[in-house]
Structure 1
Amino acid sequence: MSYYKNENLMDLVEDIIDLDPQMRFAAIIDKKGKIIEAIMKSGKTSLKSQKDEEHFCQQVAKRREMRQEFDKSLGSVRYVHVEREKVTQIVIYPDSYTVYVTMEPEMSITKKLRLVNKIKKMTADL
């Protein structure tokens, strides 16, 4: 069960980033792709410029909309997991927002899945 409500979104991104030392970035995005709250892990540097990050988040919102076209036939998306050379990207779809996180790609798949499940529980009421 989630213990976060809309007014605690900064607390939420801070708690997400603190889940593991290999977390890099956490953001809460509205359905139009606007970043509501975001935080980069202390000591990590962004792999994208702020402009690129904002553009990417807009694309995340568009992809969510596109995926919803198949919800009736395939069921709703539980989460999206993308492995890149330099970063792992995870996108989770609570009702009102989108949660976007990045982590170091060297983390084991088992650990990544545990983090996805923790984040889903933390954001269940958003």
Structure 2
Amino acid sequence: MSDDSLASKCELLLKEPEIRFAGFLDMMGNLIVGSFRDNVKPLKNEEERKKMFIEAVLRIRTRQDFDNNLGPVSYAAARRKNIVTFTFPLDDVVLFVSTESNVDIDKTAYKIMDLCSIKNNS
């Protein structure tokens, strides 16, 4: 996917009121494109976000070791006190999304997958 295509998917996601951040990461955890929704105050500084992105990609890559016998991961979510984070492994990038903490995880994940035309692996 081109950077323009990825950026347009982020813009589409950020129109949803529950989504705080949407971005695509390369397999080293670098942010390719992405941003916060307007008027959202980041909870972490840029350095902390970079560490969080690297950790998210490492978790995705570790989970892929089990794809042969368990099947591929469609998405992973972590509910925290202040936010919910989602990661969606795609071919050569990872979609990273953070939302408000009160979302229904499955409903929101399927909404994100629908908006970004991500195939469900389950």
What amino acid does structure 2 have at the position aligned with 1:90?
F
Segments of 5+ residues of structure 2 without an aligned counterpart are none
What amino acid does structure 2 have at the position aligned with 1:117?
M
TM-score normalised by L of structure 2: 0.87
C-alpha change, 1:110 and 1:71, in structure 2 (3 Å) is closer
Partner of 1:84: 80
Partner of 1:27: 23
Partner of 1:47: 43
1:92 & 1:34 partners in 2: Cα distance?
15
TM-score normalised by L of structure 1: 0.84
Kept after mapping to 1: 8 A contact 2:86/2:109: no
Match of 2:32 among 31, 36, 41: 36
How high is the sequence identity, in percent, across the aligned residues?
22
Kept after mapping to 2: 8 A contact 1:17/1:26: yes
Q: Which stretch shows the higher mean deviation, 9-18 or 23-32? A: 9-18
Kept after mapping to 2: 8 A contact 1:92/1:120: no
1:113 & 1:32 partners in 2: Cα distance?
23
What amino acid does structure 2 have at the position aligned with 1:16?
L
What amino acid does structure 1 have at the position aligned with 2:28?
K
Q: How many residues end up aligned between the 2 structures?
A: 118
Match of 1:70 among 63, 66, 71: 66
C-alpha change, 1:17 and 1:48, in structure 2 (3 Å) is same
1:76-125 deviations in Å (ceiling 9; x for gaps): 1110011111001111011110000011011234641442332451x56x
C-alpha change, 1:112 and 1:71, in structure 2 (3 Å) is same
1:34-89 deviations in Å (ceiling 9; x for gaps): 11011101111001110000111111111111101111110111100111110011
2:39 & 2:101 partners in 1: Cα distance?
17
1:39 & 1:111 partners in 2: Cα distance?
22
1:41 & 1:49 partners in 2: Cα distance?
16
